[in-house]
């Protein structure tokens, strides 16, 4: 994908888990349930998100998702999302991993590739290279993809932000690219049907995380 040297959360001493998927897939719910499970297991962890996981990132989040920010062109949007990543990884994610924590992030590089690359019809490879550079080559140990048809996900969200309101064809391109990424990186992907019961999804995720932790 890129010449950038990659490293995982384990390489830095922790475990890096990312939740990905289209809008309305239930990532927020599963993030909360995973937080509860990690707490119940007394596992030191950090819950975070992109965009918005740092002070700078929160300001970028407000800019890129605000419905009235329609004038942001696709390349500028990709650069803003990657500025968020650079700050977030440097200031929040890497320090937590070096402390031996499990870091759980709601969206990461693959969202940027799928949304700003495939969704905005930019070159996904170029977006991937930019994202890898912005994150200093940090890749997840586990990426959980909650797969949902756009008509059942983003299409049912009432109050839409700028991404959610991008249209069904946009979200279909995003979904397909997520699935393509999962096919390309099966060693780190867990693909789950987001329409299954939330408890069933929770159990599948916690089982995979438990195995990665050697429990």
The model's pLDDT over 67-90, given as tens digits with 9 standing for 90+, comes to 676 689 999 999 999 999 999 999
pLDDT at 154 over 60: no
pTM: 0.91
Instruction: Confirm or deny that 25 is annotated as ligand binding.
Output: yes
| Residue range 170-174: mean pLDDT, rounded | 94
Instruction: Confirm or deny that 156 is annotated as ligand binding.
Output: no
Give the angle subtended at the CA of 47 by the CAs of 172 and 89, to the nearest 5°: 80
Instruction: Confirm or deny that 57 is annotated as ligand binding.
Output: no
Q: Percent of the chain scored above 70 by pLDDT?
A: 91
| Residue range 192-212: mean pLDDT, rounded | 97
Architecture of domain 7-211: 3-Layer(aba) Sandwich (3.40)
pLDDT at 2 over 60: no
Instruction: Confirm or deny that 14 is annotated as ligand binding.
Output: no
d(CA 210, CA 157): 32
Instruction: Confirm or deny that 24 is annotated as ligand binding.
Output: yes
Instruction: Confirm or deny that 26 is annotated as ligand binding.
Output: yes
The pLDDT, as a whole number, for residue 69 is 66
Residue 44 near residue 101 (C-beta atoms within 8 A): yes
| Residue range 163-171: mean pLDDT, rounded | 80
Average pLDDT of the chain? 92
């Amino acid at each position: 994908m890129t010449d950038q040297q990659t490293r995982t959360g384990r390489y830095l001493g922790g475990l890096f888990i990312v939740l990905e998927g289209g809008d309305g897939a239930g990532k927020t719910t599963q993030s909360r349930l995973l937080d509860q499970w990690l707490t119940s297991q007394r596992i030191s962890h950090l819950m975070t998100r992109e965009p918005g996981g740092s002070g700078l990132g929160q300001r970028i989040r407000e800019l890129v998702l605000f419905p009235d920010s329609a004038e942001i062109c696709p390349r500028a949007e990709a650069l803003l999302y990657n500025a968020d990543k650079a700050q977030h990884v440097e200031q929040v994610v890497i320090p937590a991993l070096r402390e031996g924590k499990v870091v759980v992030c709601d969206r990461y590089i693959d969202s940027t590739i799928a949304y700003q690359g495939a969704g905005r019809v930019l070159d996904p490879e170029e977006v991937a290279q930019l994202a890898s550079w912005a994150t200093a080559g940090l890749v997840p140990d586990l990426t959980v993809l909650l797969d949902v048809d756009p008509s059942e996900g983003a299409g049912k969200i009432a109050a839409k932000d700028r991404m959610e309101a991008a249209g069904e064809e946009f979200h279909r391109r995003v979904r397909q690219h997520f699935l393509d990424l999962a096919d390309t990186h099966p060693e780190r992907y867990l693909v789950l049907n987001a329409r299954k019961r939330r408890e069933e999804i929770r159990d599948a995720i916690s089982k995979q995380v438990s195995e990665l932790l050697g429990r």
